[in-house]
Amino acid sequence: MLGVTGCIAAYKACEVVRELTRAGVRVKAVMTEAATHFLGPLTLRTLTGEPVVTTLWDDTTASRVYHVSLAEEADVFAIVPCTANVIAKLAGGIADDMLTTTALATEATLVIAPAMNTHMWRDEATRANLAVLRERGAVVVEPDSGELACGDVGEGRLAAVAEIVEAILAEVLRARDLAGVRLLVTAGPTYEPIDAVRFIGNRSSGKTGYLIAEEAARRGAVVTLVSGPTTLPDPFGCTTVRVETAEEMFAATMDTYAEADAVVATAAVSDLRPAAREARKIKKDDAPTSLELERTSDILGEMAALKGERVLIGFAAESEDVVANARGKLERKSLDLVVGNDITEPGLGFGSDRNRVVLVSRESAVEMPAQAKRTIALAVCDALAGELQKRATTSTAVPEGESR
């Protein structure tokens, strides 16, 4: 889906369409009313071979609500050029025309190529709006510097067509790189009951696991999410199984594991549970001052013992020696990747929308800056896709001296 907004650089959208169609990409276009003053819809219709929509009231003869069907059909939603006004609308969730309504409804990655006067580009409001969009996973193709249409010289000129097309094609490939993969994701905490009211638990919100499940589904995976207690809604496009205790999570996980090609285990599973549980609420005067505890099942360990050709990714929440502890977990449980994080960093991790993690594999430890958990989910899915591709390449390699 290619959105075009009201900017002197709108004619460059034609070049973008031409390069995308040459690369085998099917393109549909949607324009703001302002864009039609710079570029005729007929031009884009001719280049794409598809109807071009300019208002919410266009008669498309579609049986469904058109902005919703367009939103669901798109693998990538690119806006070239994107004005400061539309950037602000996207950041604020304003949907008052066909382009912004479709953008708000889509699960596809947004690729934004801004173009505007240099003073508008540098304005605090524009910078803040772009930061919001980046936090949500949008890809921003930074504008170039040079002479602008207004005569000013500076940043704000639309990036080169080749750079924009490269960014779009990268997202087109990413959008289907997990197609058909049967993925099991675990997320959230577990609650181990002491009585009818009290439990042993932890502070996990489940946000990272839910975002990974949603991102993987967007990229074509068949996702089953086994979730401990959270307040989060079921992620779009996934089968969600809700559990409470470690043993319930173990049972639900192993039910799905046999059919899984890969696992991303983000759940913060309790290692211990009360040896005995009271069915009633224990009254204050009867409450014990100590609890006898017993270990719960090692879910990831059990999966590792039956790993086979599956890709296994685990998480390690640590308070010290993050990389060393993550690597130890990687080796003990035959994992392909461990995502480690320091739980002592204030404002990050449990309950937050942001985290700072390190991706630990057998070959490397890649430290990532503090960023949105949505961006971390994208990086984990990239790593998963890379590992699956590596295995597919290895399995199809022809031994030396043989022919296929």
Residue 404: inside a domain, yes or no? no
Please give the angle made by the CA atoms of 271, 272 and 275, to the nearest 5 degrees. Answer: 155
- Are 136 and 187 members of one domain? no
Residue 230: inside a domain, yes or no? yes
Q: How far is CA 178 from CA 24, 151, 261, 339, 389, in A?
A: 20, 46, 11, 19, 10
Identified catalytic residue from 7, 14, 82, 150 = 150
Q: How far is CA 223 from CA 123, 206, 385, in A?
A: 41, 16, 14
Residue 21: inside a domain, yes or no? yes
- Are 297 and 362 members of one domain? yes
- Are 215 and 364 members of one domain? yes
Is 14 one of the catalytic residues?
A: no
- Are 15 and 142 members of one domain? yes
- Are 142 and 232 members of one domain? no
CA distance 367 to 186: 23
Q: Which residue has the tokens 């996934």?
A: 238
Residue 400: inside a domain, yes or no? no
- Are 163 and 267 members of one domain? no
- Are 221 and 166 members of one domain? no
Residue 402: inside a domain, yes or no? no
Going residue by residue through the chain, which has 404 residues, state the pLDDT in tens, using 9 for 90 and above. 999 999 999 999 999 999 999 999 999 999 999 999 999 999 999 999 999 999 887 655 555 666 678 888 999 999 999 999 999 999 999 999 999 999 999 989 999 999 999 999 999 999 999 999 998 999 999 999 887 777 777 788 999 999 999 999 999 999 989 999 999 999 999 999 999 999 999 999 999 999 999 999 999 999 999 999 999 999 989 999 999 999 999 999 999 999 999 999 999 999 999 999 889 999 988 888 899 999 999 999 999 999 999 999 999 999 999 999 999 999 999 999 999 999 999 999 888 999 999 999 999 999 999 999 999 999 999 999 999 998 887 765 555 555 44
- Are 155 and 245 members of one domain? no
* Residues 323/366, Cβ–Cβ less than 8 Å: no
- Are 100 and 188 members of one domain? no
Task: Pick the last residue of a domain from 175, 191, 211.
Answer: 175
Residue 210: inside a domain, yes or no? yes
- Are 161 and 188 members of one domain? no
Task: Pick the last residue of a domain from 139, 157, 175.
Answer: 175
For the entire predicted model, the pTM comes to 0.86
- Are 381 and 254 members of one domain? yes
Query: The CATH number of the domain where 62 resides is what?
Result: 3.40.50.1950
Domain count, the chain: 2
Residue 77: inside a domain, yes or no? yes
Task: Pick the last residue of a domain from 175, 204, 236.
Answer: 175
**H or E segment to which residue 241 belongs:** strand 239-242
CA distance 330 to 180: 26
Return phi, psi of residue 201, to 5°: -150, -165
- Are 151 and 190 members of one domain? no
Query: The CATH number of the domain where 336 resides is what?
Result: 3.40.50.10300
Task: Write out the residue range of the structural domain in which residue 81 sits.
Answer: 2-175
Q: What is the number of other CB atoms lying within 10 angstroms of the CB of residue 167? A: 20
Residue 403: inside a domain, yes or no? no
